[in-house]
Chain A
Amino acid sequence: MSLYQLSKVLYVLNRDDAAKRLWQAEPASLLEGYDLTDEERTALLEHDIGLLYVLGVNGQILMHFAALCGIAWADYIRLMREGVEKYGPVRAGLYAMTTQFNERVAGV
């Protein structure tokens, strides 16, 4: 697992317009410069928010990635919960889930 590399992709995507354009046009080629596992690469290419969350991506950059993928706020929250249900607890980082699966903390 290379959480640093995975996070770095999202950091670059978050702040660099050229990287965003490349991502829209040829997402796989953006990832070429990063040392990612197959699981990480697939999670990015498939916009698997739940898996990215479980892998330990910091929520701040994950939130922006979800927005870039056109995922609405309520769906973003739901996808993270479903990720924990499917893949188990968050494996690294500070953004673990502390509430229950069906808990809608802010009503979404």
Chain B
Amino acid sequence: MSLVYCGVCSHAPGITSRAEMADPALRDPFYAALENQRQEIMATKPDALMIVAAEHFANFFMNNMPAYAVGMGESYTGPIEDPDWLKVPLRTAKGNPDLGRRLVAEMLETVDVAYAEEWQFDHGISVPLHFLDPNNELTIIPVNINCQGPPLTPLHRAWTFGEAIRRAADSVPERIALVCTGGISHWPATPDSGKINEAWDREFITRWEANDRAAMLSYTDAETYRDAGQGGFEIRTFITAAAAGGGKGDVQFFAPIPIFAVGCTVGRIEIA
């Protein structure tokens, strides 16, 4: 039928694995914002949830790295991380190969996406699903943007990819919800873990909420790396969401939570 929901959220593994180390005064409002996002998604009665993540070598590696990939599997398991370490129980999520195939076919009109009938979820998808689909009810279409192994896709292609997702979602009879996950500035999995450039994040959020395409695409990767860390490359997922939704953004929650290693973010974008 169409795109019925478009949003963004963080996916850092610390959000679940280091939950008890966080200040509850920061953590609990973040969890509440994710619960609110879950309710907003469920209220749109989606037939499938497309979740665009920037995965971390769970499926894609430098032997054959796609810039963009879309899942067409029957089912997906995850997390690949030790569930006791991530503190997210192992699940098998439902896929929909037929829907995936139709979405991919439409996207290919403008973006050369890879497809995958096998896909294991890592924290990039498993952490968001833990909050947004706790009972494992939804049909999932996983999507990936390479934000880990350079050369990375240019930001303007992430925008074009978002437009392709929108066109694909609007071309199928199913109701599609879209959540794009990633960090804004962060330096994850390094000794710098917990470093967050809050001013940079707030500037990015201003550009994202205004859905200011030119301003969002004006960052060079060298600037992002310097100011927002290697985790900042994941702004690609936010840009994809902005292009797919097309309207103004609303960041419903943002707070740096250093032990989670990221400025924790929940937002939605108007479908225009």
> Is A29 part of the binding interface, using a Cβ–Cβ cutoff of 8 Å?
no
> Is B99 part of the binding interface, using a Cβ–Cβ cutoff of 8 Å?
no
Q: Does A98 contact B187, Cβ atoms closer than 8 Å?
A: yes
Chain B residues within an 8 Å CB radius of A87? none
Q: Does A61 contact B56, Cβ atoms closer than 8 Å?
A: yes
Q: Does A8 contact B63, Cβ atoms closer than 8 Å?
A: yes
Residues 143-157 of chain B: 1 if any A CB is under 8 Å from the residue's CB, otherwise 0? Answer: 000001110000000
How far is A97 from B190 in the complex, measured between Cα atoms in Å? Answer: 7
Residues on B close to A: CB < 8 A? 13-14, 17-18, 21, 56-59, 61-63, 80-82, 85, 120, 148-150, 187-195, 225, 229-230, 258-259, 261
Chain B residues within an 8 Å CB radius of A81? 191
One of B21, B57, B191 near A80 (C-beta < 8 A): B191
Chain A residues within an 8 Å CB radius of B190? 53, 59, 80, 95-97
One of B56, B148, B258 near A106 (C-beta < 8 A): B258
One of B81, B150, B195 near A94 (C-beta < 8 A): B150
Chain A residues within an 8 Å CB radius of B229? 98
Chain B nearest Cβ from A71, distance in angstroms: 10
How far is A61 from B80 in the complex, measured between Cα atoms in Å? Answer: 11
Q: Does B85 contact A98, Cβ atoms closer than 8 Å?
A: no
Q: Does B188 contact A59, Cβ atoms closer than 8 Å?
A: yes
Q: List 25 A-B contacts (CB under 8 A).
A: A7-B62, A8-B61, A14-B80, A15-B57, A15-B59, A15-B80, A53-B190, A58-B56, A58-B57, A58-B148, A58-B149, A60-B56, A60-B148, A73-B17, A77-B193, A80-B190, A84-B191, A95-B190, A97-B192, A98-B187, A98-B229, A105-B193, A106-B261, A107-B194, A107-B258
